[in-house]
Structure 1
Amino acid sequence: MAHYEANGVRLHVQELGEGSPVVVCIHGLGMDTLASFYFTLAAPLSEAGARVITYDLRGHGRSDKPPTGYRFRDTVDDLLALLDAMDIDEPVHLVGNSYGGCIAFGVAAAQPSRVASITLVESMPAFGENWSAGIAYLFTGEIDGDHEDVEKHRRAVREEILSQSNVPDGARVDHMMKLSGQTLRRTGIATELPWSAPNTEDEIRGVSCPVLGIFGSRSWMVPLAPVLRDVQPHARIEVIEGLGHFILAEATKDVVGLVKEWVFEPSYA
């Protein structure tokens, strides 16, 4: 375990392996931390010879939790600064779960020479009004408003989360939503991120490294897969049948197999 100063915050980092390639895993928002990768992909990839870096996003886990600094570009700049702080100058393979994939594309758009490949695990690039609206919808329950409307929204989000799991556990979802709410309320994520500028479509189209997208067939992300194919025509898309959004946890073996093959030999579809 280590902490690195990056872009004005201390980021908590866990690292496994010392080989090559370098794989950086980027987790999602709110209820997620580096643990989702540390207990799934990190060990198998490092055992295969890779150097695997996982880190807590600002506002999450054991990283700093400043009250502000949660625009989309802030999270991109955090990762770029972290690579500098760790003296990593070779192109890295970025594996992003949910919002983590947005950061991966943001880094590739900002500094393409630093990215060898991108793997999206239930994720899409951050561009367009639909992306901003989707982020705003998720956070509506954590923004001040009419109490009845907020509670109604939280119940709707809870049901959507449950519907995305093959082993729905209401008590666990309630606990995770409570933790997520605490994260959102003590930081500026809910008020800054939805209204910050994501990437432009041209920036996403300009990303030239190999891209792999992994989705669950029942996921709310599946209808967006054609959008990914449109902006990244050479992306490879893999769909895991029968699963929803939580494929990293519920189909770990399948995801590990796909990512392990990919980072050692990424290619264009």
Structure 2
Amino acid sequence: MAEVIANGVRHHVQRLGPTTGAPVVFVHGLVMDNLSSWYFTAAPRVARARPVVVYDLRGHGRSDRPATGYTIDVLAADLAALLDALGVFEPIGLAGNSFGGALALAFAARHPERVARMALVDAHGGAPDWAEKMAATLELRGDARDRAIAANFRNWLGRHSARKRTRLAAAAAALVYDTTLVDDIRRSPALAGAQLAAVRCPVLALYGEQSDARAAGERLAAALPDCALRIVPGCTHSVLWERTDEVCGALADWFAEGAR
């Protein structure tokens, strides 16, 4: 385990695979997620051929949880500072799942020279109202909140023991109720127009056939200059956990191609 100070926040970072070459950086989803969702799925597969970096976003996993700083602009600045701290200045591979995909897109739009190739797995961010919908979901309480968590995370949470699920729920509650996360997400609008056009790298977009984010993925594929959209049959938003082997293979092939 490594601890890296980036943008004034201590981040938990893990590195896998070869020690030379441009890495592939994996960005996880929001609130109930952390780097382990990549660490135990696609990251080791990609690391057979490429250096890999996985990290906990601020407020998540073993990273610090400051009271503020959860807009997508700040989180993108965290990633830029993290790469600087790690001495990574060459163009990277970048993969994002769910909210992590929205963050990956934002980073690539702000720093196109730093991203050589990108993969999005059921990424949010393609719909104009994505931030408002996400903030509204995070504000749910009681049974409504529990139903939303079950719908979005049942496959991920099902991999953990009851004790681990309890810890994840407690960490998520602290993040939602003790920080400015909800307001900051609401102030993080979707990329559009010239911002999406600034994403110059090739993009692979994987979306579940039955996912509520599929329409956003189709809009992204049409708007990005170089995007290959792949719909995964029978899957919901949790495509990474519903078809883990298929997604891992697709990402390994995608980033191996980028290394040649």
Superposed pair shares fold, TM > 0.5: yes
- 1:11 aligns to 2:11 (yes or no): yes
Query: Could you report, residue by residue, the CA deviation over 1:156-185 in whole angstroms, capped at 9, with x for unpaired residues?
Result: 4245337x759979x969745554223212
Q: Which residue of 1 aligns with 2:132?
A: 133
- Secondary structure of 1:265's match? helix
Cα distance in 2 between the residues matched to 1:235 and 1:90 = 22
Q: Report the Cα offset of residue 233 of structure 1.
A: 5.1
Cα distance in 1 between the residues matched to 2:170 and 2:179 = 14
- Secondary structure of 1:12's match? strand
Where in structure 1 are there 5+ consecutive unaligned residues?
142-149
Q: Which residue of 1 aligns with 2:61?
A: 61
**Alignment partner for residue 213 of structure 2, among 221, 226, 229?**
221
Cα distance in 2 between the residues matched to 1:127 and 1:224 = 5
Q: Is the 8 A contact 2:11 2:58 kept in 1?
A: yes
Q: Which residue of 2 aligns with 1:260?
A: 252
TM-score normalised by structure 1 residue count: 0.85
Q: Is the 8 A contact 1:28 1:98 kept in 2?
A: yes
Q: Report the Cα offset of residue 2 of structure 1.
A: 0.5
Where in structure 2 are there 5+ consecutive unaligned residues?
none
Structure 1 residues 108-147: aligned runs within 5 Å: 108-125=108-125, 128=128, 130-141=129-140
Cα distance in 2 between the residues matched to 1:178 and 1:194 = 22
Cα distance in 1 between the residues matched to 2:119 and 2:35 = 16
Cα distance in 2 between the residues matched to 1:174 and 1:121 = 23
TM-score normalised by structure 2 residue count: 0.88
Cα distance in 1 between the residues matched to 2:144 and 2:157 = 23
- Where do 4+ consecutive residues of structure 1 move more than 6 Å? 166-169, 171-174
Query: Number of matched residues?
Result: 255
Q: Which residue of 2 aligns with 1:247?
A: 239
Cα distance in 1 between the residues matched to 2:127 and 2:237 = 20
Q: Report the Cα offset of residue 212 of structure 1.
A: 0.6
**Alignment partner for residue 157 of structure 1, among 148, 152, 158?**
148
Aligned-pair Cα RMSD in Å: 2.6
Q: Supply the AA of the counterpart residue of 2:227.
A: A
- Secondary structure of 1:15's match? strand
Q: Which residue of 1 aligns with 2:43?
A: 42
| Change beyond 3 A, Cα 1:124–1:166 | closer
